[in-house]
Structure 1
Amino acid sequence: MSTALSAHPSPEVEVGGTTFVGRKIPFEQEFFGGIPFAEPPVGILRFQPPIFKDTYDEDILDASQSGLPCLQFNSTLDQSSEDCLTLNILRPANLSANASLPVLFWVHGGGFDRGSSNEDNATTIVAHSVQRGTPIVYVSINYRLGPLGFPQGKEAKERKALNLALKDELAALKWVHKHIGKFGGDNQKVTAGGASAGAIMNAILLLDPGIEKFVRGGIFESGSAATPLTRHAAARQHNWDQFVGSVPTCAGLAGTNNTFDCLVDANVTDLLEGINASRELAEEDFPWDPTIDGLGGVYPDYPSVLFQIQHFARIPFITGTSLDEGTAFADPSTNYTNDVVRDNLFKNLSTPFLQRSERSKLDQSIQEMLELYPNDPSLGSPFGTGNETFGLSPGFKRMSAIYTDIPFLSQRRFWQQTMAGMPSSGVKSYGYLWKQGLNKQVFPPMFGVLHAADTHYFFNDSLVDTQALELGTFLRDYFLSFIDSLSPNDGKGTQRPHWNHYSRDNQVIMQMAAQNLTEVPDTFRKDQVDFINSLPDIFHH
């Protein structure tokens, strides 16, 4: 710590009789990190729902650094830990005891098997909030990852061990609701935000009206509840068996319905070996997704079913997708012939033990998809690049377009259209299409406007295109306005176009690109998206 900073006392906040000592950081801000919100999920608590924690043995706790990320794929025991259920708080310096600022509760992405609470630096966001006169408190959390956060299979269902990471997030929200006031936040003004997996987790929790106790608004970047291929736990039994078979001390139990006791007793070194090895063996890109957990669970049914019976929180939200979401998920080394694309769709959309009629419907749907997404590079993603194939298989752009629309565009549109079609629900939403790419020196043009590119502009990190910094400022102003007032149009900060909410009679979204920030009709690729959304059973929505 520099001499100048050492001259000022460290910020302190008391919770449950324990004093958390944070640290001052540049831009007139204060940071508190590594605050436990649940008991460490180790030993007999491994594969159990989180045990809420807000009393601590110590009189004083050092909260000057973030806690370690949760145990995860492609990490070491020096870089991650099972004892990871902690949160960070960033706030403007010198807040009064009754500041009651709006709160942004941020959930990181990472495909459900990697990431951490400290991967995004929110100092620019908090500084911008102060500058525009709408200061906020920022909270970020860790949650369990991979098979520790999203166990799969029959045994996990029987033991009620599904979706543990979602329950981790709920425990963190409970902690914030109970204690954020001590840090200058208002527990009645919490906006849940996230990108990719984080947005998906938040969107799933917003399917439960009970979340209204903890959250009043949502911001979703590149993710809706049904963005992953939503399945029941049994459908991913093979993933669980591969994990168990990769844990040296438990490998002999793979394929049985008696694996948990061994896994609970396994040492963390063996556990991490199983996480890494099974991830390499996985046939799916994302083997540890949230899963349907039935009545009384946190994800009781498919989003399309829950929307139909109006089982969702009445909370306003902002939701957006990037132009070329799918380029991050299509393999540039694959020669995507017509047969390869067909097989890829079948592998992702089929389920075990298909009946003959179900198989026929799936085959017909895949054929229709192949016709709606022809092998014509000028129609593929990255969109707007003509016949350019970037030296790759022409089918790469076709596959990328499909990967953009099935998980991302279709579900963003379906969500907003559903809310707009239920005006009595009172839910206002604001949609956008992010069309600004990242630093071209880092990301080659084959990626176009990459998945979650807008997140980098929101946090103003090193990957943004420096020629488009003003667009990042506009985005922060829209989001900060919403966090403060539940409208992106508070008139504070930069002058920017008015953003209309999405309605049945005015289905428009904000197109966000440097030098081209304007509203556009939400009708692009209408035939393709309408087809996908007409078959939620086929597309696991």
Structure 2
Amino acid sequence: MVHAVRLWTLLSATFSCALATEVMLGRTKIIGLDSPQFKQEFFGGIPFASPPVGDLRFRPPIAKFTLDGPSLSATNFSASCVQAGLPFSEISENCLTLNVFRPAGVSSKSELPVMVFIYGGGFVAGQSSIMNGTGLVSRSIARGTPIVFVSLNYRLGPLGFPLGDEAARNGLLNLGLHDQLVALKWVHANIHAFGGDPKKVAVSDREFPFAPVLDGPGGLIPDYPTKRVARGAGGKLPFLSGTVLDEGTSFTPQTLVGVTQAEAFGISLFSPSPAGTSALQTAVQNTLAQYSDDPADGCPYFTGNDTFGLDPEYKRTAAFVTDIGFLSLRRWFGRAAAARGALVHSYMFTDPQPENPPQIGITHASELPYVFGGTPAGNPGAPQLSEQMMDYWISFATSLDPNDGKGSERPKWEPYTPSKEFNHANLTMIADEFHISQTEFNDKNHFRLAIIALCVVPRW
């Protein structure tokens, strides 16, 4: 996302001129960077697990709550985990590290709330460095509710999510999720040294929902979350969850032509299915049938009959992917949690993205740069909206309520009900009914399609 990269370029230039700062973790001195301009300090590339190489490759992470040696240089991010699309010089198997941004002048007695960001990317791509925490920490200081911000790396692709019977028999599925859990345990064990409160840790996870694989009885993912939630799992933890208007455009091939290719693509998203190939094909065909082939009804939404030079099936398929991969899940989990008394705050993000190509519209993760203080250059109202969104998120992290009244003037974000969700463009409560007939159809079939959703959940 262009505006996110621009923000990081600016902030990294600032840190390049920063001074040294230190934190003692056990017997190790961690040397980070002090940035007086932002009144905060940065510690990057801190190992939270042993390097997953050699005999530890394709193994669950070995937690590393203490460090080796008298000192650790933590003045930059570590290499990202192995993935396609990045230069070899920027990736490494030795990547299980995390980063800490904190206000200057805090101590181990400060006990500040902690925000942990876990990148998405479909479990095949992602970098802890791409969403810089400087803006959030600066905003938290300015509004009088300072936080500590943490981001982390986890293994991706076949190194993090190996597939097959052998991996399943040996309990080696979802290694990347095990990495995330060990990183969170590290935060609980050590964040006090950086001024954080281990009892007040909120986790933000914007993950693509198709990839996790069941570990089997007693494993990390013993059953489909839809089934577990229906049985009462999850308790009444408060959470924020949301979707953007045109989620599916980023994941729909623009080369797609005709109904046959649309069905084949839909089947590929959920293969292999525990229901079997024939049942999956029928489910995809029946679900696609719920969507009009009129381009005016397709995604990106509200773009009329414009097909952007693509086959009309692109817009219909993108609508299918938006609903079945994102909107249906957010709506189902939100309603299920709210029905049992959990405090849920849900949003639909619709702010225009003039820097995006028109065929992708307001696509997946468009709201994240706003939360981190970066906005599209061609949208004059975006900076104010970004400030308000940062305040909502920081307020939730510090009080479990996005409406603490501090910082920017902003409307009340009311708790979610089927008739009330938040529109993160004009900051008004709207009825949660967009594509309601399609998502209700999807709800009746979500067990068969075996979809998994992750939300923004506090670990308090």
TM-score of the superposed pair, with normalisation by structure 1: 0.77
> Contact between 1:349 and 1:538, CA under 8 Å: does it hold in 2?
no
Unaligned runs of 5+ in 2: 1-13, 452-460
CA apart distance, 1:534 = 0.7
Look up the match of 2:343. Answer: 428
CA apart distance, 1:76 = 4.1
> Contact between 1:406 and 1:539, CA under 8 Å: does it hold in 2?
no
State the distance in 2 between where 1:5 and 1:456 align. 19
Unaligned runs of 5+ in 1: 198-226, 229-288
**SS of equivalent residue, structure 1 residue 75:** coil
Matches within 5 A, 1:14-413: 14-25=24-35, 26-197=37-208, 227-228=209-210, 289-335=211-257, 337-349=258-270, 351=272, 359=278, 362=280, 364-413=282-331
State the distance in 1 between where 2:49 and 2:275 align. 41
Look up the match of 1:222. Answer: none
CA offset digits 1:220-262 (Å, max 9, x no partner): xxxxxxx21xxxxxxxxxxxxxxxxxxxxxxxxxxxxxxxxxx
Look up the match of 1:461. Answer: 374
1:383 and 1:181, CA in 2 relative to 1: closer, same or farther beyond 3 A?
Answer: same
CA offset digits 1:133-189 (Å, max 9, x no partner): 111000000111111100100010111111111111111111110111110111111
Look up the match of 2:5. Answer: none
CA offset digits 1:243-289 (Å, max 9, x no partner): xxxxxxxxxxxxxxxxxxxxxxxxxxxxxxxxxxxxxxxxxxxxxx2
Look up the match of 1:255. Answer: none
> Contact between 2:107 and 2:194, CA under 8 Å: does it hold in 1?
no
CA offset digits 1:486-521 (Å, max 9, x no partner): 001101111111111124xx54110111xx220101
Give the partner amino acid of 1:292: L
Q: Work out whether 1:530 is the aligned partner of 2:440.
A: yes
Look up the match of 2:3. Answer: none
> Contact between 1:104 and 1:137, CA under 8 Å: does it hold in 2?
yes
TM-score of the superposed pair, with normalisation by structure 2: 0.90
Give the partner amino acid of 2:362: V
> Contact between 2:273 and 2:280, CA under 8 Å: does it hold in 1?
no
Give the partner amino acid of 1:46: R
Look up the match of 1:501. Answer: 415
State the distance in 2 between where 1:160 and 1:90 align. 34
CA offset digits 1:314-335 (Å, max 9, x no partner): 3210001010001111111222
State the distance in 2 between where 1:379 and 1:7 align. 51
**Matching residue within 357, 360, 378 for 1:447:** 360
Which one has the largest radius of gyration? 1
1:370 and 1:43, CA in 2 relative to 1: closer, same or farther beyond 3 A?
Answer: closer
CA offset digits 1:362-417 (Å, max 9, x no partner): 55544432331020111111111121212211111101100100010000000011
> Contact between 1:32 and 1:88, CA under 8 Å: does it hold in 2?
yes
CA apart distance, 1:7 = 11
Aligned residues: 436
**SS of equivalent residue, structure 1 residue 532:** helix
Look up the match of 2:428. Answer: 518
1:417 and 1:6, CA in 2 relative to 1: closer, same or farther beyond 3 A?
Answer: closer
Alpha-carbon RMSD across the aligned residues, in angstroms, is 2.2
Answer with 380-389 or 343-352: which moved more: 343-352
Matches within 5 A, 1:479-494: 479-494=393-408
> Contact between 2:375 and 2:386, CA under 8 Å: does it hold in 1?
no
State the distance in 1 between where 2:51 and 2:280 align. 44
Matched-pair identity in %: 41
